[in-house]
Structure 1
Amino acid sequence: MVYAEQWNIDWSVLPSITYDTITVFPLLAIPLFLLGGQLMSQGGLIRHLTAVCDVLIGRLQAHLGHVMVLASAFMGAITGSSVATVAAMGSTVGKEMIERGYSPGYTAALNASAGLLGVLIPPSIPLILYGSIVGVSITELFLSSLGPGMVMIVAFMIVHASLARRVLPGGKEKPAAAPSSEPKPATDTTAAPRARIFVRALPALMLPVLVLGGIYSGIFTPTEAAAIAALYALLITLISRAVGVRDLEKIFLSAALSAAAILVIIGFTSIFNRAMVLEQVPQSIAMWAVTVTDSPIVFLLVVNVILLIVGMFMETNAATLLMGPLLAPTAAKYGIDPIHFAIILVTNIELGLLTPPLAANLYVAARTNKVPIIDLLRNLGWFLVACLIVMALITYVPQLSLWYRFF
């Protein structure tokens, strides 16, 4: 805004730039997905999801950490938000992990790391933003993120299995706590039969199937899927009486505030993006990159380093909106598939959720699990290493992102 006159930007058009940016149809998916996630979380359906994960992998050693990873993936398929996933899982699975003998610092580190699956597992808010501002298919972006998401799940489970003996006495968890009104762990043979656990969780399990199945089959768009998800979550929570009508005001307000925060960032970032376009910054970056190297491999290495640094200091959605339009044209000049590059960019930037000083996932996990941030950081190292290895695979093995084109 300071350089508006120098860049030939009329102040009178600034409000219209922000308004026109945030009122496009694809971005309507953001508040609707957030609302669906809030309803699922407040309605107690997240507990049912974790109980199902407990059933599926209850025989694994130190299995509750694996439950944290899988349940985070389920939650990501509901909210599309990494921070929301961390908060929901920390207050449910995280609490039980600490009761089973895990240190709060390790629990918070796993909680924060697994929260990245909220962005990788579709629907993903950063991918919606990237697709809407760069002009690539959001449905294809959702499909392409499934492969990297599965690889990240496996990586976190391997790290947890490797560290289990170190973080637990003898590598074994303590027995489950006394029964409560919440769904009991599947490993408790005196609890309700496993079939009953699946029946209780069926409404929550059907939401990702409904959303992703409808999008990939072409029945509805991602935005329409978000509306259906929010309506479905509302009906389920009301029918099950998990949430009263009087509680809805608080839930809607919470979702609205979260969405407003994201949309304000989007709106004002659009002004900066417009200035960059008018100043031909993307073209300048492309010309500089071409003069530095003609190798796509070296270019992607440079991009990864730049994005890791950007992610450390910028909020994920803002960084996606800023760097996407700047780097996508340059990547195209190197012949890099636009869908593949989108996954590289978004995954790379989201690692900033684990790297201070911004590191939103770390602060949310520390607060939710009631642990000092320094204790969390002491246990974070191997999870960061796993993330960087997966990032390298995503960057240099495009088949991970473009797998759906082989069918």
Structure 2
Amino acid sequence: MITPIIPPGIAMILCGSLANVSIGKLFISGIGVGILLCVGEMLCVSIISHKRGYKPTRVKGEKLAGSEVARVIRSAILPMCLPIIIIGGVRLGIFTATEAGAVAVLYSVFLGLLYRELNLEKIIKGLKETVLSTAGIMLIIGAASALSWVLTKERIPQTLTELMLQISPNKYAFLLLMNIFLLLCGMFLEGNAIMIILVPLLFPIAMEYGINEIQILMVIIFNVSIGCMTPPMGTLMFVVCNETGCKLKEFIKECAPFFIVLICELLMLTFIPVFTTGLVTLFG
């Protein structure tokens, strides 16, 4: 759910490429959006845990030993440098967003070997899974790109822009309708396909309404992220149920409070631009 939103999420690279928007700025915006998402979900978990009487595994008041704190920091410091390296490298122009993916892979392999959690067998298995995953994604991207090209050639984005401006000159009405439409699409379609098809259609309309380019793309990405967990065809929903053995009905029931939080956060991102543009403005 959170991986497309926090840098270096592939969704941000894809949307930035489609809309010709700075991927580095999207990465910075993703930090703020990711923090908002984490805080909202943690509050939801805390409230549910309190209501159900869940007990902490550590006794209240018990302090961590200094050696344990040092061990945790030592084991986490290098992996936590990965997003810093990627975001910093893209923002400073050291490498492109595409090259950042290669850097991330090399750094991850290095860490795996350093911590002795990676061997030749696991590397080969990872390469096989990557090939299969990439092939599936590329098939979707290929078909969606062809459709996107046809829509552009037929001037569908321009026609939709004129139509929307005639229907309502209010940008907030457009944003609300767009959210509803994207959430419905997310229930039935794969996220990458949604972005490839709809970003070229929705982005020009948003620009005519004077909506910030970073804001509109982050709202689209957030919508797609919600869609991957939404019945009846949410891909992440089926993956979680398959891996954990959880029944679909139980999953939907337990996720209901989190969906409410996600919708509230979506509305905040939609109607309060500072949540998506604040850090971008701050860091230039």
Sort the TM-score into its range (normalised by shorter chain).
over 0.9
- The partner residue of 1:238 within 113, 126, 129 is 113
- Partner amino acid for 1:349? V
Corresponding residue for 2:261? 386
Residue in structure 2 matched with residue 252 of structure 1 by the alignment: 127
1:134 positional shift: 1.9
Q: Is the 8 A contact 2:2 2:225 kept in 1?
A: no
Provide the aligned length of Structure 1 versus Structure 2: 280
Q: Which residue number in structure 2 is paired with residue 405 of structure 1? A: 281
Going from structure 1 to structure 2, the CA distance change for 1:146 and 1:239 (only over 3 Å counts) comes to closer
Using the TM superposition, give the Cα deviation of residue 271 of structure 1 relative to its aligned residue in structure 2, in angstroms.
0.7
What CA distance in whole angstroms lies between the structure 2 residues aligned with 1:215 and 1:288? Answer: 37
Q: Matched residues in 1 for 2:238 and 2:114: separation?
A: 35
1:139 aligns with 2:29: no
2:122 and 2:224 map into 1 onto residues whose CA distance is: 35
Offset, 1:210: 1.8
Tell me the amino acid that sits aligned with residue 144 of structure 1. Answer: S
Any idea what the Cα deviations from partners look like across 1:278-309, whole Å, max 9, x if unmatched?
22211221121111101111111111111111
- 1 CA distance for matches of 2:150 and 2:23? 25
Q: Which amino acid aligns with 1:225?
A: A
Tell me the alpha carbon deviations over residues 189-212 of structure 1, each in whole angstroms, 9 at most, x when there is no partner. 589621012112233222222222
Distance 1:128 1:190 in 2: 42
- Quick one: distance in 2 between partners of 1:263 and 1:242? 30
Which one of 166, 179, 191 corresponds to residue 51 of structure 2? 166
CA distance in 1, matches of 2:3, 2:173: 29
Shift of 1:214: 1.9
1:260-275 alignment runs, 5 A limit: 260-275=135-150
The residue aligned with 2:7 is: 122
Answering whether residue 91 of structure 2 is matched by residue 208 of structure 1, we say no
Query: 2:49 is matched by which residue type in structure 1?
Result: A
Equivalent-residue separation in structure 2 for 1:399 and 1:193 (angstroms) = 39
- CA 1:200–1:148: 2 relative to 1, 3 Å: closer
Amino acid corresponding to residue 210 of structure 2 in structure 1: G
The normalised TM-score by structure 1 is: 0.65
Matched, 1:366 2:249: no
Contact 2:228–2:237 under 8 Å retained in 1:
yes
Question: Residue 331 of structure 1 aligns with which residue?
Answer: 206
5+ long unaligned stretches in structure 1? 1-115, 177-186
Instruction: Determine the C-alpha separation between the residues in 2 that align with 1:291 and 1:194.
Output: 60
Aligned partners of 2:109 and 2:118 also within 8 Å: no
Q: Which amino acid aligns with 2:167?
A: V
Which residue in the other structure is 1:107 paired with? none
AA at the equivalent of 1:292? I
Aligned residue runs from structure 1 range 304-315, under 5 A: 304-315=179-190
**1:357, 1:229 → 2: CA distance?**
34
Which position in structure 2 is the counterpart of 1:148?
33
CA positional deviation for 1:311: 1.1
Q: Which amino acid aligns with 1:402?
A: T
- Cα 1:240–1:173 shift into 2, 3 Å: closer
Task: Note the aligned Cα RMSD (angstroms).
Answer: 1.9
Q: Tell me the amino acid that sits aligned with residue 230 of structure 1.
A: V
Change in Cα spacing, 1:348 to 1:246, as seen in structure 2 (3 Å) is closer
Q: C-alpha distance in 1, partners of 2:64/2:176?
A: 51
- Using the aligned pairs only, state the percent identity: 30
Give 2:191's aligned amino acid: T
Query: CA–CA distance in 1 between the matches of 2:54 and 2:18?
Result: 47
Alignment CA distance shift 1:318-1:196 (3 Å): same
Kindly state the Cα deviation for residue 157 of structure 1 after the two structures are TM-superposed. 0.7
Matched residue SS, 2:4:
helix
How far residue 372 of structure 1 moved from its aligned partner, in angstroms, is: 1.1
Equivalent-residue separation in structure 1 for 2:80 and 2:208 (angstroms): 42
Q: How does 1:27-46 map to 2 (within 5 A)?
A: none
Name the CA shift for 1:153/1:321 in 2 (closer, same or farther; >3 Å). Answer: same
Q: Is the 8 A contact 1:127 1:346 kept in 2?
A: yes
Question: What's the offset of the Cα at 1:175?
Answer: 6.4
Equivalent residue runs for 1:337-348 within 5 Å: 337-348=212-223
Partner residue of 1:223?
98
Partners of 1:246 and 1:307 in 2: how far apart? 41
Provide the rounded CA distance (Å) in 2 between the counterparts of 1:154 and 1:240.
30
Cα distance in structure 1, aligned partners of 2:68 and 2:58: 18
* Contact 1:238–1:245 (CA under 8 A) maintained in structure 2: no
- The match for 1:24 is none
Instruction: Read off the aligned partner of 2:208 and give its amino acid letter.
Output: K
Using the size of structure 2 for normalisation, the TM-score is: 0.92
CA displacement 1:213-259 (0-9 Å, x = unmatched): 22233322222222111111112222333222233211111122112
For 1:247 and 1:361, locate their aligned partners in 2 and report how far apart those are by CA, in whole Å.
24
